[in-house]
Amino acid sequence: MEPNIPLLELVGIRKSFGGVAALTDVDFTLNAGEIHGLVGENGAGKSTLMKIIAGVHAEYQGTMRLAGKPVRFRSARDAKAAGIGMVHQELSIVRDLSVAENVLLGVQPLNRFGLVDYPKMTRIAGEQLQRLGIDVDPRLPAGALPLGLQQLIEIARVLFSGARIIILDEPTSALSPPEVERLFDLLRRVRDEGHSLVFISHFLDDILRVSDTITIFRNGRRIETAPVRRIDKRWIIERMIGAGHEELEESYTGEIQLHSRPDAKVVMTAEGLTRPGMFEDVSLDVRAGEVLGIYGFMGSGQLELARALFGKLGLARGRVLLDGRETHLVNTAAARRAGIAFVPESRRDMLFHMEPVFKNVSISILDRISRLWVRPNAERTIANKHVMSLQIRPPLVDRPLGTLSGGNQQKVALAKWLTFLPRVLLLSEPTRGMDVGAKDDVLKIVKSLRAEGIGVVVVSTEPETVLSLADRILVMKRGRIAREFADEVVSKDRLLAAA
């Protein structure tokens, strides 16, 4: 192979989903023996590009060359056969099999009776792991190992299956600092053996530490590629969110003055909340008539924290006080009785698709309007009021919820808690996947609830969501609160820099 031919080269890649462009004229080059970091916001196109490389998306325009030869993968199997492996955020480790079986999954050595040759398998896997510097007994069940080790084992497997190019999607999001260190050692070792790695991450510090080259994506375009020694975090963030005038639409770069309400009554206090592996030692105050935003990357623990505050996830340590009184959130029913409401990020998870709209709206207040007997007409009256005020279409409360459009279903999900009027409302990703109009509706609803003196908590992985709704912002990083922004000027790049 000539030294100046890149290992993998993509030219003029275009890809759209249902008329919406996901990638526009993207060129991408991966050299042999490099770690290539990919950064960009959610929806910037980096995952789509990697799925094209890994054969997941077979329909696209443009050309791909592997070691100078044009290739076109029709399936993930094609890509795998060509030496491209992918390690997803959700590991595909088989928890009940041993480490050795996982490393040699699908290529187990057989003895002369056609049965799996366990001693040989253990030996081969052991050698492979040792060569990569992974210190683990290949006979142990993989599921019993910590997540960091499982990930190294998965990388070992991808290597053993013959991959020359390994794509890692958010490999550090769930790891502790020492585990990250060990992962980086492995990645460098694999690179020095001549393999190429693509490293996708939201954690800019991690990207900067381990990559040789960094490519930045924004709105489906490749913005810039540069060797890592010439750039810093600030430089990346500017390009990620698009400073200047080129991208006016959604990239919010303006600065916002936060006005917290330190004099307002504290309705909920959390002290030292801990759930190992999700969040550690989180303390916070929720004040009446204030919107508290909690921002962090995917996997930083804020989504889980919101669930724990609603009694859906148990706490290992810490306590929650409502109006100064300790409240045991043993289950969601206890949380609701205490005056806490929660809207999960997946609206599907909180709606009953076979049931009529009015039963969906009334379910959370049923114990207030009826003791023993249900009163469907009272429920219909309440539901009708919300259907009118939120302009839910069609305005028929007896229609099964499943027959409504997605946007209208989301309004029903919110309507549920409008009647409930909680002390504290927890919203998880309240505007995810919504168009501008629907986002505006949510904004109005949240403002009106705040005006009624409800303490609102918005948790999100999207900085725009938190910036547009919150009066005070906490930033979470790897399960801990990393920074609080109150009564100061914030902007998207400051949030990103703190996370």
Sites of contact with other proteins (CB under 8 A): 310, 312, 331-337, 341-342, 344, 349-355, 359, 363-364, 366-367, 370-374, 400, 402-406, 409, 416
Question: E strands within 201-290?
Answer: 213-218, 221-227, 255-257, 266-275, 279-287
Nearest approach in angstroms of CB 50 to other proteins is 30
CA–CA separation, 228 and 244 (whole Å): 23
Name which of 253 and 370 has its Cβ closer to other proteins: 370
Query: How would you class 3 by CB atoms within 10 Å of its CB: exposed for 0-12, middle for 13-18, buried for 19 or more?
Result: exposed
Nearest approach in angstroms of CB 287 to other proteins is 23
CA–CA separation, 127 and 104 (whole Å): 12
Q: Three-state SS for 376? A: helix
Q: In the numeric block, which tokens belong to residue 34?
A: 């490099």
Q: In the numeric block, which tokens belong to residue 340?
A: 């806490």
- Residue 413 contacts by C-beta under 8 Å, 6 or more apart in sequence? 343, 347, 350, 351
Nearest approach in angstroms of CB 16 to other proteins is 20
Name which of 72 and 353 has its Cβ closer to other proteins: 353
Name which of 40 and 356 has its Cβ closer to other proteins: 356
Name which of 346 and 448 has its Cβ closer to other proteins: 346
- What residue type is assigned to position 370 of the chain? S
Nearest approach in angstroms of CB 457 to other proteins is 15
Name which of 400 and 453 has its Cβ closer to other proteins: 400
Nearest approach in angstroms of CB 432 to other proteins is 16
Name which of 445 and 474 has its Cβ closer to other proteins: 445
Nearest CA to 300 out of 491, 495, 44 is that of: 495
Name which of 107 and 330 has its Cβ closer to other proteins: 330
> Are 181 and 275 in contact, with CB atoms under 8 Å apart?
no
Nearest approach in angstroms of CB 320 to other proteins is 16
Name which of 5 and 333 has its Cβ closer to other proteins: 333
Name which of 103 and 329 has its Cβ closer to other proteins: 329
Question: Which residue, chain included where needed, has tokens 């204030």?
Answer: 290
CA–CA separation, 346 and 1 (whole Å): 49
Nearest approach in angstroms of CB 374 to other proteins is 5
Cα radius of gyration (the chain): 25
**Pairing mode, strands 165-169 and 84-87:** parallel
- Three-state secondary structure along 277-345? CCEEEEEEEEECCCEEEEECCCCCCHHHHHHHHCCCCCCCEEEEEECCEEECCCCHHHHHHCCEEEECC
Name which of 269 and 332 has its Cβ closer to other proteins: 332
Nearest approach in angstroms of CB 143 to other proteins is 18
Nearest approach in angstroms of CB 403 to other proteins is 4
Name which of 334 and 434 has its Cβ closer to other proteins: 334
CA–CA separation, 39 and 182 (whole Å): 22
Name which of 181 and 349 has its Cβ closer to other proteins: 349
> Are 198 and 6 in contact, with CB atoms under 8 Å apart?
no
CA–CA separation, 247 and 346 (whole Å): 29
Nearest approach in angstroms of CB 145 to other proteins is 24
Nearest CA to 173 out of 492, 494, 477 is that of: 477
Nearest approach in angstroms of CB 263 to other proteins is 31
> Are 301 and 459 in contact, with CB atoms under 8 Å apart?
no
Nearest approach in angstroms of CB 57 to other proteins is 23
Q: What is the dihedral of CA 275, 277, 278, 283, to 10 degrees?
A: 50
CA–CA separation, 441 and 166 (whole Å): 43
Name which of 72 and 375 has its Cβ closer to other proteins: 375
CA–CA separation, 104 and 128 (whole Å): 10
- Alpha-carbon torsion (444, 302, 285, 293), positive or negative: negative
Nearest approach in angstroms of CB 375 to other proteins is 10
Q: In the numeric block, which tokens belong to residue 339?
A: 């005056």
